[in-house]
Structure 1
Amino acid sequence: MTLVADAMQAEIGARERWPSNVKLYEPYQAEQIILPDQANCLAVQTFLKMCNLPFTSELRTNAEEMSPSGSVPFLQAGAFLVSDFDPIVSFVGLRGFQLNKDLSETERAELRAYCSMVERILGNAEKYLSWIMDTIAVEVTQPRVGAVHPWPLNWMIPMLKKSEVRAQLKSIGWADRTLEEVLNEVKSCCQALSERLEQQKYFFGDSPTELDALVFGHLFALLTIQLPAVDIAGDIKEFVNLTEFCQRIEAKYFKEKEDD
């Protein structure tokens, strides 16, 4: 489907109300999900919760194959299927739900720049850790990706996925980096985020934006996942205001809902 057709579909959908049966399709959390997917799923969940939009999480072993882009999570809203964080934010915005509506044009440009930085650095770091580091790839990533498939697909599919991700990272100069270089990139990103957040509740004041959802998704995934041979959570915890930010988001948008 062309970008023009996608835009037309989104415009048509914008005239409709938010459906009551919106579903967010994700992989199974405990057995199947890998670090990059976990970060993206958390980011989208948080964004929808911040918009106060109702949705149901649907766990599927073949969620990636069901997705229109081949990545997770993806949203089913009426007749529309939308995958990935940015397209989902745009789709929701066209329906009149915009977290950044009160920002100035300068602030919106700054927000987009920070979102791009997070996806470029933290997103690529997650892929590097998951697929390029042999210990993590062999002990964590490949078993999870292959878990739902019978032999010989349970080892063929992870190998194909690893080759695909390696080629993608190689094209942008990430595949041949050392672990130290990747961790330094993560620290630099966290430093920039920490300086932007300072002691504010959210990155742009007292109200959340999609940047808050995106940062929480990536940082919370990195803080909570257990990986062999690397302690990336320890590096992130050096930035106290970022860890406190993650704790606030978790408490407000996840723990309260669980208690209810």
Structure 2
Amino acid sequence: MFVGGDSIKGEDPNYSDQVSGFLKKLDQESLIVTNMGLEERIRGCAALTNCESFDHALAGFLSQEPWPDDVQLFQPYETEQILLPDNANCLAVQTFLKMCDLKYVVEYRTNAEEMSPSGRVPFIKCGACLISDFEPITSFVSNKGISLSAHLDEVQKADMRAFMSLVNTVLGNAENYLTWVDDETYSKITKPRYGSVHPFPLNHWLCFSKRRTVLKKLSALGWANKSLESVYEEVEKGCSALSDRLEKSRFFFGEQPTELDALVFGHMYTILTTPLPNNRLASTIRGYPNIVDHCKIIEKQLFDCYGEPDDDFEDIYNPSWPLHFKLY
């Protein structure tokens, strides 16, 4: 599979020294007896070494542990509940974990958002850690010595981060706009799906509350008042930039996939295979054959559930929910 190794330092330059300090104390400090709970031991070491916080210390401690076999990935139900933005994010994380050849099991929960430490899906449970969202999860994995971008130089890594920001800013906001702002999509898709797993009147209240939260976020980002046409134009520009970067390569940085490839696949594939009242978003992506080919390559290598490699990707579009991935 696509596995590399790289050690990534935290944003705080003193972070690694603090972690090393309390890890040494964990081994050497006679005052911390072995029958104490793990949490108590880490709290004690964090205090002895002036580590910033217990959470900081715990994250550093657990990042040294190997990847367990019982990692769980939590997300909403695909058949009746999950929406376009969440589906894209969940697929991106699953793709990343598969590229790293890391074991995980998908756990479906109606209240996955409420369970998440950030209020967003997906999130993973790895040992005692709960980590949500694509970039924190990739950082957590990198701290275990596994990185898809280990072969890149610093300039390439900066480029990769810039394009990941573009994907989140353009495709992520466009998905939220269509799901929560566009009245037709909201009434025909969003409202019935989001509230489907909750009883009346809770289903209506939760949907109203979520819409208000998303609109507030989009407003702060300057997206809430955009016209639908301007949203499509933004997506067109974003796809053009990604297509220019990809050119004729299999992946964005040569023959090996990176975190960017997982993120792009998650969003592009979900848009291409998700039925919406207006299919223009998918049509825009189909106007860039190399991006479609990029999706075909990853889909065949990691999910392999649609026949022979030379099958036409157009046949993958299935106007029904959910995506029928062969995930395991």
Aligned position for 2:326: 258
- Unmatched runs of 5 consecutive residues or more in structure 1: none
Which residue type is aligned with residue 86 of structure 1? Answer: E
Which residue type is aligned with residue 197 of structure 1? Answer: L
Q: Which one has more relative contact order, counting CA pairs under 8 Å at least 6 apart?
A: 1
Q: Does 1:139 align with 2:188?
A: yes
SS at match of 2:231: helix
Paired with 1:30 and 1:4, the residues of 2 have a C-alpha distance of 40
Aligned position for 1:80: 129
- The equivalences for 1:45-194 within 5 A come to 45-194=94-243
Structure 1 residue 239: Cα displacement: 0.1
Structure 1 residue 70: Cα displacement: 0.8
CA contact (8 A) 1:10 1:94 kept: no
- The alignment's TM-score, normalised by the length of structure 2, stands at 0.76
Structure 1 residue 59: Cα displacement: 1.0
Structure 1 residue 41: Cα displacement: 0.2
Paired with 2:54 and 2:245, the residues of 1 have a C-alpha distance of 37
SS at match of 2:187: helix
Structure 1 residue 259: Cα displacement: 9.4
Paired with 2:161 and 2:56, the residues of 1 have a C-alpha distance of 20
Identity among equivalent positions (%) equals 49
Paired with 1:205 and 1:7, the residues of 2 have a C-alpha distance of 35
SS at match of 2:235: helix
Aligned position for 2:39: none
Q: Return the match for 1:13 from 48, 62, 87.
A: 62
Which residue type is aligned with residue 86 of structure 2? Answer: D
Structure 1 residue 231: Cα displacement: 2.2
Structure 1 residue 144: Cα displacement: 1.1
CA contact (8 A) 1:51 1:97 kept: yes
Q: Does 1:235 align with 2:303?
A: no
Which residue type is aligned with residue 286 of structure 2? Answer: K
- The equivalences for 1:192-203 within 5 A come to 192-203=241-252
Q: Which has the larger radius of gyration?
A: 2
Q: CA RMSD in A?
A: 1.5
For residues 132-159 of structure 1, the C-alpha deviation after alignment (integer angstroms, 9 at most, x for no partner) is: 0001011101111111111111101000
Which residue type is aligned with residue 75 of structure 1? Answer: I
Paired with 2:222 and 2:106, the residues of 1 have a C-alpha distance of 35
Structure 1 residue 60: Cα displacement: 1.1
SS at match of 2:304: helix
- Unmatched runs of 5 consecutive residues or more in structure 2: 1-51, 306-324
- The alignment's TM-score, normalised by the length of structure 1, stands at 0.96
